């Protein structure tokens, strides 16, 4: 089984990186939806988001349940899943949970980073996100746990009064009398992808620290309590969440576009995300702002992870990319290479604007084809790519995490 690239990080480094990866996953939409609004308008953008999240979230939710051994059919399982979901990154989407019993609970958001991003755009965009998108996608996330779960609003934005807190509140109920929710056709199709079927190394239960998330639901996850082995698996699973969400996004884009527009939107989404993600990874791990640091950021970036899904090797100051399951799926790595440099340039320039990439070889279409990337330094600094600047509009681009203790929730 392919070793994870995250194995090389220390336990403390992984505990820092995992919430960063969860937040980076949330920023996929901050990058991608801007281009959907431009191409299709607000209402069609909302429909893309619905199809995207309904297609991916039931698959990756169940993967994380199995990996961390908290599979179930109850409220406890749903809440644990949300805490490890790129749709609800810790603190940026500050979910606070209340549990009444196995079948009844509530949550509210003390801070909703997505709302902070959308409110300046006006109430129509808020309604699109908090009503049109949330209603079907919350239930789609819950269907991985129980097909008769319903997540319904107590109150939600647009906020009245304008500074209302908490930002929103919801009930979560499971009842056999509720109509069964079924997964979408996109979800069914995506289950056959290489991403959905990727096998990752099991967690070593003898490793020091928490090896799973069985037991009590915790108000906040303290990732430092997890073992090195568990954190490696979580990091790889979170990257697969991103790939699955991206593949679902691309399915929605594909049915609305011709080839050239599809590639244009897909590349712009990746370029914006690649730059913001690279800057956050470098800062979180305090990596040097030079060629060595940029190569290390690239090695740890979701573009190239998990290693079991994206085939690449690092040697002699270069990264060589070969045909992989990700190419088969048409995931991010399939749209970069010798003929499409913008996402790779945005990535290394987020480390230092004087950096650039030189890529040689063939675009990877067939199994025998490879390309090789070397990070180089230029004499003049490059301006930040417009796609990165668009993504930086999100408050998530500069969001700072705080340390929180893992305290068990008490059933009330």
pLDDT at 412 (0 to 100):
66
Q: What is the pLDDT of residues 215-239, one digit of tens each?
A: 999 999 999 999 999 999 999 999 9
Q: pLDDT category, 139, cuts 50, 70, 90?
A: confident
Burial label, 90 (beta-carbon count in 10 A; 0-12, 13-18, 19+): buried
Residues 207, 318 within the same domain: no
Is 321 found in the same domain as 188?
no
Phi, psi angles (nearest 5°) of residue 99: -115, 120
Residues 274 and 190 in one domain: no
**How far apart, in Å, do the first and last CA atoms of the chain sit?**
44
Q: Which residues contact 403 (CB under 8 A, 6 or more apart)?
A: 222
Do residues 167 and 270 both lie within one domain? no
The residue assigned the tokens 């190394």 is: 201
26 within some domain: yes
Say yes or no to pLDDT of 366 above 90: no
Q: Are residues 58 and 147 in the same domain?
A: yes
pLDDT tens by residue, 72-81: 999 999 999 9
Residues with Cβ within 8 Å of 8's Cβ and at least 6 positions away in sequence, in order, are none
Confidence band (pLDDT; 50, 70, 90) for 262? very high
Task: Give the residue-averaged pLDDT of 139-146.
Answer: 88
**pLDDT over 90 at 140, yes or no:** no
Q: What is the mean pLDDT of the chain?
A: 96
Say if residues 391 and 270 touch (Cβ distance below 8 Å).
no
Give the domain range for residue 29: 5-239
Question: Into how many domains does the chain fold?
Answer: 2
Q: Angle 79-83-88 (CA atoms, 0-180°, nearest 5)? A: 110
Please state the rounded mean pLDDT for residues 75-97. 97
pTM to 2 decimal places = 0.97
As a whole number of angstroms, the distance between CA 325 and CA 196 comes to: 11
Question: Contact, 313 vs 320, CB < 8 A?
Answer: yes
- Alpha-carbon distance of 115 to 232, in angstroms, equals 31
Q: Is the pLDDT of residue 82 over 80?
A: yes
**Does residue 56 share a domain with residue 189?**
yes
CB 355 within 8 A of CB 348: yes
Could you give the CA distance from residue 290 to residue 370 in angstroms, rounded to a whole number? Answer: 25
Please tell me whether residues 287 and 224 are part of one structural domain: no
pLDDT of 410 higher than 80: no
Q: Please report whether residue 33 resides in a domain.
A: yes
User: Average of pLDDT values for 365-386?
Assistant: 95
322, 288: one domain: yes
* Residue 410, domain member (yes or no): no
In a domain, 408, yes or no: no
In this structure, are 156 and 285 located in the same domain? no
Residue 371 domain flag: yes
Q: Same domain for 58 and 174?
A: yes
């Amino acid at each position: 089984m392919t070793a994870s690239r995250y194995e090389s990080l220390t336990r403390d480094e992984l505990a820092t990186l995992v919430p960063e990866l969860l937040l980076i996953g949330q920023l996929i939409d901050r990058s991608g939806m801007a281009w959907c609004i431009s191409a299709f308008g607000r209402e069609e953008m909302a429909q893309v988001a619905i199809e995207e999240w309904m297609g991916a979230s039931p698959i990756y939710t169940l993967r994380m349940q199995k990996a961390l051994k908290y599979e179930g059919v109850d409220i406890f399982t749903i809440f644990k899943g949300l805490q490890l979901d790129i749709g609800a990154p810790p603190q940026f989407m500050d979910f606070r949970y209340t549990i009444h019993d196995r079948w009844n609970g509530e949550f509210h958001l003390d801070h909703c980073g997505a709302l902070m991003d959308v409110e300046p755009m006006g109430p129509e965009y808020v309604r699109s996100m908090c009503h049109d998108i949330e209603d079907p996608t919350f239930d789609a996330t819950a269907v991985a746990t129980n097909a008769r779960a319903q997540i319904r609003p107590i109150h939600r934005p647009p906020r009245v009064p304008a500074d209302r807190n908490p930002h929103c509140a919801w009930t979560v109920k499971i009842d056999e009398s509720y109509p069964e929710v079924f997964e979408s056709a996109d979800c069914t199709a995506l289950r056959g992808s290489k991403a959905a079927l990727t096998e990752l190394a099991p967690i070593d239960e003898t490793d020091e620290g928490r090896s799973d998330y069985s037991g009590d639901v915790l108000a906040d996850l303290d990732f430092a309590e997890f073992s090195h082995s568990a954190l490696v698996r979580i990091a790889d699973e979170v990257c697969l969440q991103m790939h699955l969400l991206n593949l679902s996004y691309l399915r929605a884009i594909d049915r609305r576009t011709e080839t050239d527009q599809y590639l244009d939107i897909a590349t712009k989404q990746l370029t914006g995300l690649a730059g913001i993600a690279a800057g956050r990874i470098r800062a979180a791990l305090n990596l040097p702002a030079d060629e060595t640091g940029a190569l290390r950021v690239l090695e740890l970036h979701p573009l190239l992870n998990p290693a079991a899904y994206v085939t690449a090797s690092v040697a002699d100051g270069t990264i060589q990319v070969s045909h992989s399951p990700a190419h088969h799926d048409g995931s991010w790595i399939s749209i970069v290479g010798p003929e499409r440099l913008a996402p790779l340039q945005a990535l290394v320039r987020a480390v230092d604007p004087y950096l650039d990439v030189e890529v040689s070889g063939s675009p990877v279409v067939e199994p025998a084809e490879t390309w090789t990337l070397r990070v180089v330094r230029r004499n003049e600094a490059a301006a930040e790519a417009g796609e990165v600047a668009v993504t930086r509009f999100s408050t998530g681009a500069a969001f700072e995490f705080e340390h929180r203790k893992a305290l068990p929730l008490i059933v009330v």
